[in-house]
Chains A and B, each alone.
Chain A
Amino acid sequence: MAAPLQDWRTQKRPFAAIASMPIFWLVLFFVVPMAVVWLYSFGENAGPADIVISGTLENYKRATEWLYVSIFLKSLAVSALVTLICLIVGFPVAMAITFAPPNWRPWLLLGIMLPFWTNLLIRTYALMTLMGTNGYANKALGALWGGASWLKTLVGMQPLDAWTPAQLLYNNFAVVLGLVYVHLPFMVLPLYAALDRLDKSLIEASLDLGASQISTLNRIIMPLAGPGIAAGVMITLVPALGAYLTPDLMGGTDSQMIANVIERQFKRANDWPFGAALSFLLIYAMFIIVALQSLRRGQPKRGE
């Protein structure tokens, strides 16, 4: 399959025809804008609409204030928690899809993917209407509460106090739930891709030789699906860390994530250089996560 690559010097004209447009576009509309942001992060406000790039490190110094560090750490913690929940929920789903009868498999996959193709904003909004104080989530909880109360009177105890609708929205719980809701398909698909490639006879052999389902999972499936799990974790963790919409719409005043702080610098606070510094810190964080993952992926190969 791996035919030798052609050297660009022997094929100058086709190479120019093919490569010039994408490279030109990438440089002009990606590299240059990112470079401008990077330069702005070393700038300062000189007037209401004037920014001077003075080479100051003041913006980065300000980003190390506890307020911003804590928001950064909190964003990391929230996205890590979201990733963990997605992994726990998604792994059995991916297993079920992998071992489903072949004619079912595509439909189950489609079932996971259709929400992924639905507009993010609409999904967030749909979840919000369900979780409002008058929404169905609260109605269901209220019914459970009523049932518990009824059971208590049945055994001759005082009934519970009347159900007061729980505040499910506008807090950290809502942000985590919203992010899990949005990112679950991201986790299931790479997990499925990894499990599908797995040699199923190894699992059968393990079970035939007397290993329990749990130890087969721990000692056969997990190690073999390792790269897929890592890919799923990455694909969930990276966008969750930079999430803007969910914490903005579903979070309360204390559940801001780093993206919301960045947005505020560009809209209300109008401190573009500081916002630029924060967004580059976020990009660096992403790079570190990606680098850590590729480091992990590289290790077993060297060991072989």
Chain B
Amino acid sequence: MAIFRTRAVAPLEYTRKAWMQMWVGATLLFLYAPLIVLMIFSFNDSKRNVVWKGFTFKYYEKALGNDSLVEALTNSLTIAFFATLFSLVLGALAAVMLWRFRFPLKGVVEGSISLPIIVPEICLGVAYLIFFARIDWPTGMAWPLNLSAITIAHITFCFPFVAMVVRSRLASFNKEEEEAAKDLGATEWQTFRDILLPHMKPGLIAGALLAFTLSLDDFVITFFTSGPETITFPVKVYSMVRFSVTPEVNAASTVLIVLTVVLTAIALKMQGVKAIAEVH
């Protein structure tokens, strides 16, 4: 690439062609303009939301004062936390299982693990609605426990993603390291903890980030599994958008967008831009 930089525009330097730059610029504008406008207008001192009337934090105060909204956000973060934790363990185990062993019906197991990724969200949501109704899953338990149905649903669609990411990381593992450890007297568990786990770490971090965002983002599946006591942030925003659009939604959304950006920044600090980009 460095050779080309001295010339005007080399044939492969598509990024330096004006139409290409405009195309990318227009795409990024299309992707970001709605979000930026939303964020700017969350500070707008007007209920009608279209004309700039002056700067205010009023709607942030309102959003933070809105108990049900704060509760919904707390619920969402709690669910995302537990879903990430469990899907990390399950996903890592599934990845190691598929990577390490030969066993009967492996194709079936492998296929079934990737199924929650392919099956449409609406079908999964419906399945949990029926399933939890059928087995009479207790509702109305004390706080974190009443979120268990939603959390179980989230774990089930998150852990296959973790398994996928971790497994692609495991592909680069040199099995001789493991053999060497065992030859030198390490037990099965010690080998796992000291050799395999450190190698899996970048995959685990990437998988955890993916699971956390997927869980925080999910609307459809939660919509079917949540009851009146267990509203999550997306479900709450949905009903606010559906029934009464208020600038509070802008403020709450801005908070969540900022949270996403902060999480991404943390991930960047830990992993570097390139590693994050390679997750997908």
Please give the residue numbers on chain A whose beta carbons come within 8 Å of chain B beta carbons, in ascending order.
Answer: 1, 3, 5-8, 11, 13-15, 18-19, 21-23, 25-26, 29-34, 36-37, 40, 89-90, 92-93, 95-97, 99-102, 104-123, 125-130, 132, 134-136, 181, 184-185, 189-190, 193, 200, 203-204, 207, 213, 238-239, 241-242, 244-245, 249, 259, 262-263, 266, 272, 275-276, 279-280, 282-283, 286-287, 290
CA distance A193 to B277 in the complex (A): 10
In the complex, the answer to whether A37 meets B127 with C-beta atoms within 8 Å is: yes
Q: Distance (Å) between the CB of A68 and the closest chain B CB?
A: 15
> Nearest chain B CB to A165's CB is how many angstroms away?
11
CB contact under 8 A between A238 and B276, given known A21-B90, A99-B12, A115-B35: no
Q: Which of A6, A135, A189, A200 contacts B102 (CB 8 A)?
A: A6
List the A side residues contacting B33 at CB < 8 Å.
Answer: 130
Residues A29 and B24 in contact, CB atoms below 8 Å apart: no
Task: Please give, as numbers and ranges, the residues of chain A lying within 8 Å of B153 by CB-CB distance.
Answer: 29
Q: Within 8 Å CB of B100, what residues of A?
A: 5-6, 18
B232 to chain A, nearest CB (A): 10
A114 proximity list for chain B (CB < 8 A) = 260-261, 264
Given the complex of chains A and B, what is the CA–CA distance between A204 and B245 in angstroms?
A: 54
Q: Cβ of A122 and Cβ of B237 under 8 Å apart?
A: yes
Offer 10 A-B interface pairs, CB within 8 angstroms, sorted by A: A99-B13, A100-B15, A106-B273, A114-B261, A116-B280, A118-B257, A119-B233, A123-B35, A207-B12, A242-B120
Q: How far is the CB of B211 from chain A (nearest CB, A)?
A: 12
Picked from A7, A22, A130, the residue with its CB within 8 Å of the CB of B34 is: A130
| Contact A22–B90 (Cβ < 8 Å) | yes
Closest-by-CB residue of B relative to A128 is B241
Q: How far is the CB of A23 from chain B (nearest CB, A)?
A: 7
CB atoms of B37 and A245 under 8 A apart = no
Partner of B11, one of A23, A126, A213: A213
Which chain A residue lies CB-closest to B253?
A: A122
List of B residues within 8 angstroms of A118 by Cβ: 35, 256-257, 260
Residue B66 at the A interface, CB < 8 A? no
Which of A110, A134, A181 makes the CB contact (< 8 A) with B30?
Answer: A181
* Chain B: minimal CB distance from A287 (Å): 8
Contact B15 A244 (CB under 8 A): no
- A129–B35 touching, CB < 8 Å: no
Interface string of B48-68 (1 = CB under 8 A from A): 111000000000000000000
- Determine if B130 and A19 form an interchain contact, defined as CB atoms under 8 angstroms apart: no
Would you call A119 and B273 a contact (CB within 8 A)? no
Interface contact A8-B101, CB-CB below 8 Å: yes
Q: Do A135 and B50 form a contact, CB below 8 Å, given A30-B112, A118-B35?
A: yes
Q: In the complex the two chains form, what is the Cα distance from A109 to B18 in whole Å?
A: 19
Contact of B49 among A1, A129, A200, A272 (CB under 8 A): A129
CB <8 Å contact, B102 and A8: yes
Interface check B155, CB cutoff 8 A:
yes
Chain B residues with CB under 8 Å of A239's CB are: 120-121
Number of interface residues of B (CB under 8 A): 91
Apart from A15-B97, A21-B93, what 14 extra A-B contacts exist at CB < 8 Å? A6-B100, A7-B103, A37-B126, A96-B20, A112-B31, A115-B32, A118-B257, A119-B253, A119-B256, A125-B38, A129-B245, A203-B11, A242-B121, A283-B123
Return chain A residues, CB-CB under 8 Å to B1. 101-102
The reply to whether B94 and A207 contact each other, CB–CB distance below 8 Å, is no
Q: State in angstroms the CA–CA spacing of A244 and B33 once bound together.
A: 23
> How near does chain A come to B54, taking the closest CB pair, in angstroms?
18
CB contacts (< 8 Å) of A127 on chain B: these are: 34
Q: How far is the CA of A239 from the CA of B118 in the complex (A)?
A: 8
B224 within 8 A of A: yes
- Tell me the nearest residue of chain A to B12, going by C-beta: A99
B260 adjacent to A37 (CB under 8 Å):
no
A121 touches B234 (CB 8 A): yes
Whether B122 and A259, one on each chain, are in contact in the complex, defined by CB atoms closer than 8 angstroms, is yes
Closest to A188 in B: B27
Q: How far is the CA of A282 from the CA of B159 in the complex (A)?
A: 23
> Which chain B positions have C-beta within 8 A of A122?
35, 38, 237, 253, 256-257
Q: Which A residue sits closest to B220, measured CB to CB? A: A244
Most buried by A among B11, B188, B224, B242: B11
CA distance in complex: A239, B112 (Å):
18
B91, B101, B216, B237: the one contacting A125 at CB < 8 Å is: B237
| Chain A residues, Cβ within 8 Å of B130 | 33, 36-37, 40, 272, 276
Q: Find out whether the CB atom of B261 lies under 8 angstroms from the CB atom of A109.
A: no
Contact B131 A32 (CB under 8 A): yes
Closest to B19 in A: A92
Q: Given A8-B101, A95-B14, A203-B12: A279 and B126 within 8 A (CB)?
A: yes
Minimum CB–CB distance for A288 against chain B, Å? 12
Contacts of B128 in A (CB 8 A): 33
Nearest CB on A from B79, distance (A): 14
Contact B273 A110 (CB under 8 A): yes
In chain B, residues 99-157, which have Cβ atoms closer than 8 Å to a Cβ of chain A?
Answer: 100-103, 109, 112-113, 115-116, 118-123, 126-131, 134, 152-153, 155-156
The answer to whether B118 and A290 have CB atoms under 8 Å apart is yes
**Assembly CA distance A114 to B163 (angstroms):** 22
